[in-house]
Structure 1
Amino acid sequence: MSEGFGDRSLPLVRTVWAVGPLLRAIADSLSARFNPVTVRAEISGFSRAASGHCYFNLKDSTGQVRCAMFRRAAEQLSFNPADGALVEVEGKLDIYGPRGDLQLIVERMRPAGQGALFEQFMRLKARLEAEGLFDPGRKRELPVWPRSVGVVTSLGAAALRDVVTALRRRVPHLPVVIYPASVQGAQAPDEIVGALRQAYSRHPVGECDVLLLVRGGGSLEDLWCFNDERVVRTVVAAPMPVICGVGHETDFTLADFAADLRAPTPTAAAELCAPPRHQLMASLELMTERLTASVDARLDLNAQRLDRLAQRLGKPSGRLHEARQSLLSIEHRLNGLLQQTIQRERRRTDRLAPALREAMLHNLQVQQRRVERCTTALRHLDPQTVLDRGYAYVSDMSGRTITRAAQVAGGDRLHVTMADGALEVLAADPEK
């Protein structure tokens, strides 16, 4: 007779399990049957503990499974997981003993469909890089003190609120110009290119001198419009510096490589082009101090030059004294020459006959009269003689000679040199 399970003549042998061994047995069965396992689903309830471990659920329309991703694996992530993101994970099914829950221990995670998109991203990046579009040598410095800031993003984006909040906090005096464009979807590349070109066309009139291209984080698919070749080439053609702040710190797009500067977040993009107000005030105070010191130094230099010129010019009375001394010297020299001539002629006369003596005496008289006329003429030219007759020499306080009443106005201070000294007077109003 068969002794099968259905033979009820034999007593049934039942295994009585403790909970722990039962859970371990189930875990071993799951591991042998399924592991390793790959799951494609949507993230829900994502959280990152202080230890670095990540906990979340993977769900679809038919169910969900608890997941744990330990710090070692989480540190290898190339993106920031978030609720609602569609991902593919690889890991091992296990039973969490303390609660008896089924859980998936995730060892690798990537955005769903990333493989094909990432390959397309890398091919386009290599081609544009070979053209020199990402060359660091073509990147421009940001303006130290921007006069206005332009922002290309969606009007409903949280990134716009973050940028405006940061700019209002740091540089409330700067005007902000918004160039709206979709930042996700099939229409986004055309709208971004149009917004950029609108900003470029207004650049000559100074509407903005630095431009921010921003949006918040998302999956590779969400950010794909910033990898569009048209968008990249339009960013490269910007006449003003462009800061690209797309996604989170770990997100990279081709627009980041094309821009003059990449920011890890939209808020960081705003902060990079907007020095804090206290820094602006400190720079302004420093420039004021330098300007004041420069003006003071220039005034001191010009004052010294003026003093040297005044010393070289001297006073009119001093120049008159020099002229008088020169005339006296000439007179003494003429008298000496005259005496020498007389003595010489006298000796010659003594040697000549009496007839010649008479002629010489006549000639001497003529010469004496000529000398007297010269002496009289010289005395007439003597400035002191002119001053002794009641005339005066008039100049302004800078030493300029005054010869006509039209050269002065009422109340002007004048320097009057007379025969026995000098006076300072005020000119009367000619109309009174």
Structure 2
Amino acid sequence: MPPDSLAFTNGSAPADTILTVSQLNRAVGALLEGHFARIWVKGEISNFTQAASGHWYFTIKDDRAAVRAVMFRGRAQTVGFVPRVGEQFEFRAVVTLYEPRGDYQLQIDTLRRAGQGDLHEAFLRLKAKLESEGLFDPARKRPIPTMPKAVGVVTSLAAAALRDVLTSFARRAPHISVVVYPAPVQGADAPAALVQALETAYSRAEVDVILLVRGGGSLEDLWAFNDEALARTVVASPVPVICGVGHETDFSIADFVADLRAPTPTAAAELSCAPRQALLDQTFEFYRALSRHQQRLLERLSMRLDRAMSQLVSPRQRLNQQREGLQSLTARLHRAARRNTELEAARLNLLKTRLNAALPSVARRRQELDRLTQRLAAVGSRQFRRPRARLEAAEQTLQALSPKHILARGYALVRDQNGVLVKNALDLNAGDRLLLELAQGAADVEVLKTRSLL
């Protein structure tokens, strides 16, 4: 088997295998890396060196032993601070072997100050408690005003975060007033002081948004912002609160309860307001849009004015136009009147001609009337002669048959009280009243006695 492909079984090599130093170190390195997963190691830093490449080289020791360690630049840049010799840390590392010297070492991924495991557990417990109460609910959080008149800053007067915030406002929004409510941001007394500073800001009611800021540091350095009383004070704020504590990778309880979390104090200042130049650019854009709209409006009105002026004439010209129109209408009326008169005259002449043609001759009609009258008289005389004779005969017959002539010969008509003619004397009774109608007059009689003439 070639030396470079040397392999071990059950942690040992064949007894007759001859190894080079490089092979041995490589095999030992493989064993170390295969046997140890990522582990946590606790110890004190000594012999710390920061190379020009950005890598950190140091020794981790306790009171009995020491081990070399390296933290490459990419990992070191995420720490946010430079460890100091003599400080206690907990390191998450991979066990490796530095082959050129045959020294084993720790390759560090991340580090935290000793005791931060307990702090992290306390952090998780408080986070779960406040989250269960709804203090992290996004629906509870208020929008950040885009154009505040004044911004409050709660931080230490000596903090670099305050300089960063003030520099950001001076550069981006010099028109906004900044009110600082000083309070320590680290140490045992920091949480109560931060609560007092926030309550002062609430009572003075002089700002539209509050920035709670601090620069980067370890979990211990940022622990003041994991205080429950501070979290509840932030929730009770009458104005929106932006929390910018530590670096982008740092999270605190104050970040979760704030209305907005900023990755850094500078970012908190930037998120609290729109930049002045952007507002000026927006205002100028609105001005240009308004100017364009006004220009288009003026152009449309100018066109309407031109059209109106083209249609506008002087009163004298309008009167002349109306006079000409009146004269034209008068001439048309006269022509129409003459035309109607001529038409009516022609029609009248036509009717006269037709009437004259239809009128009969009076003399001829009179002669015809006399002739017809004579014929009528002759016909009438012939037609009425025979009926008149018959009428006279009928009158004579009627006179002869009239009851009056019979009564004149001494007869009488006898009627009972109901006016019914009495024809049989036997139908009467003594005492009946009768009416006798004679040729001259009538008489009322009473029946004394009835008898038969046979």
3-state DSSP class of the match of 1:243?
strand
The higher radius of gyration belongs to 2
3-state DSSP class of the match of 1:184?
coil
| Corresponding residue number in structure 2 for 1:430 | none
| Corresponding residue number in structure 2 for 1:294 | 293
3-state DSSP class of the match of 2:123?
helix
| Corresponding residue number in structure 1 for 2:302 | 303
Distance in 2 separating the partners of 1:290 and 1:45:
66
C-alpha displacement of 1:182: 2.6
| Corresponding residue number in structure 2 for 1:122 | 124
Gaps of 5+ in 1: 1-23, 25-30, 352-432
Distance in 2 separating the partners of 1:283 and 1:241:
24
3-state DSSP class of the match of 1:248?
coil
Closer, same or farther in 2 for the Cα pair 1:263/1:257, shift >3 Å? same
The letter for the 2-side match of 1:270 is A
| Corresponding residue number in structure 2 for 1:218 | 217
* Higher deviation after alignment, 282-291 or 294-303: 282-291
Closer, same or farther in 2 for the Cα pair 1:341/1:96, shift >3 Å? closer
Give a deviation string over 1:17-54, Cα, whole Å, max 9, x none: xxxxxxx9xxxxxx9xxx9995455x577554455642
The letter for the 2-side match of 1:112 is A
| Corresponding residue number in structure 2 for 1:179 | 181
CA contact (8 A) 1:167 1:274 kept: no
The letter for the 2-side match of 1:235 is V
2:158 is equivalent to residue 156 of structure 1: yes
Distance in 2 separating the partners of 1:275 and 1:331:
78
Closer, same or farther in 2 for the Cα pair 1:330/1:37, shift >3 Å? closer
Distance in 2 separating the partners of 1:261 and 1:312:
65
Paired residues in the alignment total 311
Give a deviation string over 1:155-203, Cα, whole Å, max 9, x none: 2222212222333234444322212223233443333234334444555
* Higher deviation after alignment, 175-184 or 68-77: 68-77
Give a deviation string over 1:320-355, Cα, whole Å, max 9, x none: 23443454456457656876898879999xx9xxxx
| Corresponding residue number in structure 1 for 2:268 | 269
The letter for the 2-side match of 1:178 is V
Distance in 2 separating the partners of 1:310 and 1:238:
65
Distance in 1 separating the partners of 2:127 and 2:237:
19
- Give the TM-score, by structure 2 length: 0.52
Matches within 5 A, 1:246-285: 246-273=245-272, 282-283=281-282, 285=284
Give a deviation string over 1:32-83, Cα, whole Å, max 9, x none: xxx9995455x577554455642346689x9996852343995798775633
Closer, same or farther in 2 for the Cα pair 1:235/1:45, shift >3 Å? farther
2:50 is equivalent to residue 68 of structure 1: no
The letter for the 2-side match of 1:87 is F
C-alpha displacement of 1:215: 0.9
Closer, same or farther in 2 for the Cα pair 1:179/1:70, shift >3 Å? closer
- Give the TM-score, by structure 1 length: 0.54
| Corresponding residue number in structure 2 for 1:8 | none
CA contact (8 A) 2:96 2:107 kept: no
* Higher deviation after alignment, 210-219 or 324-333: 324-333
CA contact (8 A) 2:56 2:76 kept: no
Closer, same or farther in 2 for the Cα pair 1:93/1:315, shift >3 Å? closer
Identity %: 50
Gaps of 5+ in 2: 1-24, 26-31, 352-454
CA contact (8 A) 1:79 1:250 kept: no
Q: CA RMSD in A?
A: 5.0
